[in-house]
Chains A and B, each alone.
Chain A
Amino acid sequence: MTHSFDIVVVGAGPAGLAAAAAAAGAGGRVAILDDNPRVGGQIWRSSVATSHPEPARIRAVQRFEASGAKLFSGRQVVDAEPSRKHGAPGRLDAWGSATRTLETFIFDQLILTTGARERLLPFPGWTLPGVFGAGGLQAIVRGGYQVRGKRVAVAGTGPLLLAVAAHLQQDGAEIVLVAEQASLRSLISFGKSLVTHPAKILQGIRLRRELAGVPYRTGCWPVAAKGEGDGELSAVQFSNGSRNWTERCDLLACGFHLVPNTELATLLGCNVSETGVQVNAGQQTSVANVYCAGEPTGIAGVDAAVLQGEIAGLTAAGKAGQAARLHRKRDAQIAFGQAMDRAFALRNELRNLPQPDTIVCRCEDVRFAQLQEQVNPQNDWTNAKLQTRCGMGPCQGRVCGPALNALFGWRNSSVRSPIFPIPLEALCSAPFNTEEVQISDSQENSR
């Protein structure tokens, strides 16, 4: 089945909803695709047991629904090209998990709002049942996982940890510890930088108040998760660099801030640097009819994402003048994101957590010692892939990639369609790009 739109938006989180609403409001025929069953992305993920969603989410969804943009949920984008030849429209292919069909979307302009994922780092025991990403556990609890009465340790880094801890506590979990790897000193200087963002300070104060009585420790990190008899998590060992101690817990929610989802942008040939997809003031990428907004351009939070989405939607719909009025507000939020990157930068100790037998690639069960043998002067991941299958499983390196980058400095050198695994029945009916997309020299130099 083929659909044709002026503007296609990929990802219905805060940036995507704003982009679609703005573009449709400016008169464009707009489609928005999302792989989840419901809109909202991760930060506005709806909860199965709560009738009080966030006011910002309600406003954004209502505005989106009134805009006339057409929603295609449960669609996983697997292939795309910006333009078949000069001036011709672009196309992307999406697999519908419910419809079991591959659909083609033809577009003049494409807006990528593919969000971010958690950075997960390997340490002994991190593959035990009971160990989750921090945002991961929050999402699963919103999906109906009961944590009432469970003892939960929250660890890693980033502002998400406090939000997750507060949410889990509200749902009846006992938070035994929030362990933030960043030092108190770096958090204090981050706090000072927030003077220009009073709303974020208030949010922080509200979270701390909700978490009164919960131990919050800075400058400490998990070193090992321990299982009991049936292999379920029973305790986590923490360290602050000078001493180790053990916290008994049923669950560990552990994430090390976020990394941008840049696979689709890379496939389309957009310039991508270490911090994310490169965009100009109008959120336009290096590929003329492809725009990008929100976390894929660098982790800066929901307020930045909404503004970037609005700017991308307006610019793509030919209202660059109107979008320009939002540039300054957007830039202030980007500065906040950069301060976050500095404050929550990974400490070196985290790179020493894996033991030789610690699994790094969870899809293929590739262990740290196997990867150490593949360290090479080019800092290239390709050899490790060929020799160990690391990153070759169904997640296509989305989990181990950021870990390998932190551990060895390796970068994924290519993206290949389909960018998500799909059933063979879909491949049989589709004309896929068979050539591999190499990251170009200019992209390489911009890193």
Chain B
Amino acid sequence: MREVDKSTTTTVTVYVNGNPVQALRGAMLAATLLNTGQVCRTSESGEPRTALCGMGICFECRATVDGLPHQRTCQIECREGMTVHTQQ
């Protein structure tokens, strides 16, 4: 178990559609995308969608992460240099 203490928390930079975004180390990628106001994907009929269930069930928060498509961003912790492309 590793609990992140506020005093030792550091930030990492992730790249959302090419733009650098600061995130707490260990923060969930879905949370970071919401903090930037970025939707994750566009639905079959063209609706913008963001995280819904927060626990890896609904797949609404999927995006392309480090080149891999359809990754559930609610199950991925932000790492330094991570690239994210939202799915249109």
Contacts and interface: CB of A to CB of B under 8 A. Distances in A.
Interface string B1-21: 111111101000000000000
Contacts of B4: 46, 48-49, 51
Interface string A138-170: 111101111000000000000000000000000
Contact of A144 (B28, B48, B56): B28
Nearest to B62: A394
B77 A37 contact: yes
B43 interface: yes
Contacts of A38: 1-2
B24 interface: yes
Interface residues of B, number: 45
B60 A118 contact: no
B75 A35 contact: yes
B68 to A, nearest CB: 8
Interface stretch (A24-32, A125-133, A214-222, A301-309): A125-133
**Most chain A CB neighbours (cut-off 10 Å) among B5, B49, B59:** B59
Interface stretch (A270-278, A320-328, A359-367, A436-444): A359-367
Contacts of A359: 43, 45, 47
Contacts of A421: 59, 70
Contacts of A318: none
B57 A127 contact: no
Contact of B6 (A49, A65, A129): A49
B contacts with A: majority SS: loop
Interface string B35-61: 100010001110111111111111110
B27 A48 contact: yes
A49 B34 CA distance: 16
Nearest to B59: A394
21 contacts: A36-B75, A37-B75, A42-B55, A46-B4, A62-B1, A65-B1, A74-B75, A117-B55, A129-B48, A132-B52, A136-B52, A140-B31, A144-B23, A144-B78, A362-B52, A365-B44, A365-B47, A394-B70, A395-B59, A399-B53, A399-B57
Interface of B: 1-7, 9, 23-24, 26-28, 30-32, 34-35, 39, 43-45, 47-60, 62, 68, 70-71, 74-78
Given A135-B54, A140-B51, A140-B54, 16 more contacts: A36-B55, A46-B3, A46-B4, A48-B26, A49-B6, A51-B7, A140-B28, A140-B30, A140-B34, A143-B74, A144-B78, A145-B34, A362-B58, A365-B43, A393-B59, A398-B57
Give the top 4 A-B pairs by smallest Cβ distance, nearest first. A143-B28, A144-B27, A139-B54, A136-B54
